[in-house]
Structure formats: C-alpha cells, structure tokens
Amino acid sequence: GIPMNAWLMKGYFDTVPISLDESAKLDGAGHFRRFWQIVLPLVRPMIAVQALWAFMGPFGDYILSSFLLREKEFYTVAV
C-alpha cells in the first residue's frame, strides 16, 4: 500500500547523492529545476516499479477471484 511505497521512495531518494543537488544549486538552479532535472531522472526506475506494483495488486485480485468463481451467478460486483 501507500505506506510501503512511501517508505521505499524515501529510501530510494536517500541514495541520490547530495553533491548533485548542491552542484545544481551552485549553478543557479532553483528547487523546482533541481527536482525535475536532477533528482527525478534518477528515481524514475523506482517510480516505474511502484506503478507496476500498483497495477499488479488489483490485477492479481481479479485473476484469483475469476479463477475461484467460475459461474456467473457467484460473481460479485467487483468481478
């Protein structure tokens, strides 16, 4: 869920070297530019993983329920 993803993102953000942020700051980049052009490209792999996990959870629930409930009379609203 959201707490796990937030914890993983925090850990991934901690791996971004502070020296990159400081160098961009010395070159005159503002907060927004440092985030979008320095930090965000480095954390895109984790964002992609979390997007995949966010899709796989509900999809796995659908597959399991459609496997267990084979007849339409037993379907729930979610299926």
pLDDT tens digit string along 61-76?
A: 778 877 888 787 777 7
| Mean pLDDT, the chain, integer | 88
- On whether the pTM is more than 0.85, the answer is no
Residue 11 lies in a domain: yes
Residue 44 lies in a domain: yes
> For 23-40, what is each residue's pLDDT tens digit?
999 999 999 999 999 999
Residue 61 lies in a domain: yes
Amino acid at 44: R
**Do residues 37 and 29 make contact, with C-beta atoms less than 8 angstroms apart?**
yes
Q: Rounded CA gap, 48 and 33, in Å?
A: 21
Task: Please give the tally of structural domains in the chain.
Answer: 1
The domain in which residue 45 lies consists of 2-74
Residue 79 lies in a domain: no
pLDDT higher at 54 or 48: 48
